[in-house]
Amino acid sequence: MKRGKNQEIFAEKLPRMVAPEARQLRKQAGDWLKQRRADAGLSQADLAARLGLKYYTFISQVENGFSRVPTETMAAWATELGLEPAAFAKHLLLYYEPELHRLLFGAKK
Amino acid sequence: MSVIAFERQQSAGLWSETELNTIVAALSAAIVPGNGRGWETAMTEKGDAQFYLLGPLPDQACELCVSRIGGRYILEDGLGRLLFEHRSLALVALHAKAAVRSTRWSLAARAVLLWCAIRNTIHDKVEPLLTESEELLVQLTPQLAAFA
């Protein structure tokens, strides 16, 4: 999965932002999810099909760090990846809401 | 004999300049320099191109995503909801533009709704209190004047 952060053609035409912490954490979450999917032996398309998605593009969107796993589908993602839903949600909270994770569970990453 | 050159439609790999131009032009109103919104491109694990319209800082989460799979363009929002799909990128770009506009309108509608709710609360709760105290003052003033 390549992240063509700056396609040369438009690199100078429009301004880009320095990745803030929220984006970096989402990317870390994406990398973690990608690893869990690989451990489960699934492709992005396999996971999308199991989650009932027509296209696998949203899986890529999440793994590339541009979106989050929606709360309402976290249990389904966990199940398909062979993980315990509560532990899965708790781990994602570490990336998506680090302050809330710290308040609830004490320790920082 | 004259030959008309048709541009070959890209079906895999990175976005072509024409494709990017089409999407960015459609979303130009959303990608105004200074509002913190931007865009990025990436690839799926199968090498299909994706374009992400990012929201404002600090979160910069994906608001819209256009992907190209086998010559078909897919428009999704940041929650993975499929908004539109077609072989024509121009048509998909138009839908993307409309989707951004509807997001803005929904924010404006929420602001108006909030303002109406605040005005309503003032009308229902605060105004009766003011009227009541005004009436009390009218009744008390002659008595206070008599004492004085």
Q: A17-32 pLDDT, tens per residue?
A: 344 689 999 999 999 9
ipTM over 0.85: no
> What pTM was computed for the model?
0.71
Option in B41, B58, B78 nearest A67 (CB):
B78
Instruction: Catalogue all structural domains in chain A, each as residue range(s) with its CATH number.
Output: 20-105 (1.10.260.40)
* A5/B40 touch (CB, cutoff 8 Å), yes or no: yes
Q: What share of chain B is helix, strand, coil (3-state, %, to 5)?
A: 45, 20, 30
- At B65-124, the pLDDT tens digits run 999 999 999 999 999 999 999 999 999 999 999 998 766 555 666 666 677 677 777 777
User: What are the residue boundaries of the structural domains of chain B, listed by start?
Assistant: 17-104
* B45/A3 touch (CB, cutoff 8 Å), yes or no: no
* B44/A1 touch (CB, cutoff 8 Å), yes or no: yes
A52 touches chain B (CB under 8 A): no
Q: Cis ω on the peptide bond leading into residue B33 (within 30° of 0)?
A: no
Which token pair is B36?
């913190």
Neighbours of B57 (CB within 10 A): 15
| The domain defined by B17-104 carries CATH number 3.30.160 | yes
Contacts of B118 (CB under 8 A, 6+ apart): none
What is d(CA B40, CA B51) in angstroms, rounded to the nearest whole number? 6
* B76/A58 touch (CB, cutoff 8 Å), yes or no: yes
What residues are paired with B16 via a beta bridge? none
For A1, the closest chain B residue by CA position comes to B45
